Amino acid sequence: MAPASQSNSSVPPAQLPYSKQAIDDDDIAAVAAALRCPLLTQGPTVARFEEALAGYLGAQHVSACANGTAALHLAYLALGIGPGDEVVTSPITFSATAAAALLCGARVRLADVEPDSGNLDVERVERAIGPATRAIAAVHLAGLPVDLEPLRALCDRRGLWLIEDAAHALGAEYRGRMVGSGLAHAATFSFHPVKHITTLEGGAVAVADPRLKDRLDRLRQHGIERDPARFERLAAEPWAYEVQELGLNYRLSDVACALGLSQLRKQPAWLALRCRLAARYRERLVAALPAVLPPAVRADRRSAHHLFPVRIDFAAHGRSRAQVVQGLAARGIGTQVHYIPLFEHPLYRRHGAGERLEGACLYHQRTLSLPMHHSMSESDVDRVVDALAEVLS
Ligand SMILES: *Cc1c(COP(=O)(O)O)cnc(C)c1O
């Protein structure tokens, strides 16, 4: 057998996906130790993970839950969003941001985005607000924060809740403040393996108000209240608990939280690596492919670089996006499109959110997410840019 290092053109290059997890020996040891604990779920590791995450974010309170979609659903429910209400959000997001509002019985209204960043345009949000609007759900696309201060001021003026879908934005900063530290009423995170840190499946909601934290904790566990001081009618018997409202089972296990604690310790170094990879991409793209635009930047914000979405005028290069995706795949490089606008999907068209918004169409037509994750090196970035130059030439 040929040695692995031998250069051989018949050997396909290593697959470089657009994103993936990094699990090392301390993560595995942390999970193994958690599996030997008496409580696999509903034990003490959940609160430890929540406190560590709150510490990292500079948040008052964190409630961990089953996944990022559950986090959004719980956040909307805890804020009282229900039938007759409307949530304004971005069309350039994963379905869950809007679907979680539909699951509450609310309606979804899409507002247009900035064509260079794919983030909500605050003026367009203001115009989308109607008499039934109760909340704005803002997505920090690819890790670049939306313009939070004017958005929060708008919400305060109009008496609306501001929810951040921060699934892409763990570690992102807006005017020196961490996303999730209280600029919005609630910030939701996902710990799916493609995100910054993973608990396999997992999510969390960060809030400032302790009453919201209590409500999130109750809703993720069947609406059950265990503190007898808060019982509405049952006596404080040793076994008693009260089901006070309609909730779900959206818990995150202690084993998952042990993995989350181990992953979170690496997050600062991983974020620094992502920033270096992004800088390398910019430098190489400017030199080799000036017509390929790197992700938008804003001087008052730090992106968490969950994704590295470039913008390409495919027609000007005489290539379709599918040809570029296939050309890169043939060179072992994975890409993804974030996202097909929600108004193109049958579900949202059926729910009256089918209007095609111009900024979102423009953003969507040109976007392509190149590999960005913490198992990459700067030479992987060079490989991606070289491959892209070949495919576009
Ligand atoms: C991943 C993601 C979610 C959903 O998170 P899950 O953990 O997969 O349920 C929601 N919104 C955005 C923007 C995401 O990227």
Per-residue pLDDT, 77 = 98
**Using a 6 Å cutoff on CB, does residue 143 contact ligand 1?**
no
Summarize pLDDT for 297-308 with one digit per residue, the tens.
999 999 999 999
User: What is the rounded average pLDDT for all residues in the chain?
Assistant: 96
Q: Which atom of ligand 1 is nearest to the CA of 139?
A: 13
- 100 Cα to the center of ligand 1, angstroms: 11
Burial class (CB in 10 A: 0-12, 13-18, 19+), 370: buried
Q: Hey, which residues does 161 pair with through a beta bridge?
A: 135
Q: Which atom of ligand 1 is nearest to the CA of 194?
A: 1
**Using a 6 Å cutoff on CB, does residue 93 contact ligand 1?**
yes
User: Region 255-278: what's the mean pLDDT?
Assistant: 98
User: Where does 254-360 show beta strands of DSSP type E?
Assistant: 301-302, 308-311
Domains in the chain, start-ordered, CATH in brackets?
25-263 (3.40.640.10), 265-392 (3.90.1150.10)
Q: Which atom of ligand 1 is nearest to the CA of 96?
A: 10
- 202 Cα to the center of ligand 1, angstroms: 10
Per-residue pLDDT, 318 = 95
Cα–Cα distance for residue pair 333/330, rounded to 1 Å: 7
**Using a 6 Å cutoff on CB, does residue 180 contact ligand 1?**
no
Nearest residue (CA) to ligand 1, atom 4: 68
- 342 Cα to the center of ligand 1, angstroms: 14
Q: What is the pTM of this model?
A: 0.96
**Using a 6 Å cutoff on CB, does residue 69 contact ligand 1?**
yes
Nearest residue (CA) to ligand 1, atom 7: 68
- 167 Cα to the center of ligand 1, angstroms: 6
Nearest residue (CA) to ligand 1, atom 14: 167
Which of 67, 102, 140, 192 has the most ligand 1 atoms within 8 A of CB, as the residue to mutate? 192
What backbone torsions phi and psi does residue 81 show, to the nearest 5 degrees?
-80, 130
Summarize pLDDT for 116-167 with one digit per residue, the tens.
999 999 999 999 999 999 999 999 999 999 999 999 999 999 999 999 999 9
Cα–Cα distance for residue pair 343/92, rounded to 1 Å: 9
pLDDT at 1 over 50: no
Residue with tokens 């710990």: 191
Summarize pLDDT for 188-242 with one digit per residue, the tens.
999 999 999 999 999 999 999 999 999 999 999 999 999 999 999 999 999 999 9
DSSP secondary structure string, 271-290? HHHHHHHHHHHHHHHHHH-T
**Using a 6 Å cutoff on CB, does residue 310 contact ligand 1?**
no
Per-residue pLDDT, 3 = 43
Summarize pLDDT for 28-74 with one digit per residue, the tens.
999 999 999 999 999 999 999 999 999 999 999 999 999 999 999 99
**Using a 6 Å cutoff on CB, does residue 90 contact ligand 1?**
no
Q: Does 76 sit behind a cis peptide bond, omega within 30 degrees of 0 on the bond before it?
A: no
Q: Hey, which residues does 243 pair with through a beta bridge?
A: 224
**Using a 6 Å cutoff on CB, does residue 247 contact ligand 1?**
no
- 195 Cα to the center of ligand 1, angstroms: 9
Cα–Cα distance for residue pair 196/271, rounded to 1 Å: 8
What single DSSP character describes residue 142?
G
pLDDT at 171 over 70: yes
Which of 21, 69, 179 has the most ligand 1 atoms within 8 A of CB, as the residue to mutate? 69
**Using a 6 Å cutoff on CB, does residue 335 contact ligand 1?**
no
Cα–Cα distance for residue pair 150/122, rounded to 1 Å: 7
**Using a 6 Å cutoff on CB, does residue 155 contact ligand 1?**
no
**Using a 6 Å cutoff on CB, does residue 225 contact ligand 1?**
no
- 298 Cα to the center of ligand 1, angstroms: 24
- 203 Cα to the center of ligand 1, angstroms: 9
Per-residue pLDDT, 15 = 87
Sign of CA dihedral 321, 322, 327, 329: positive
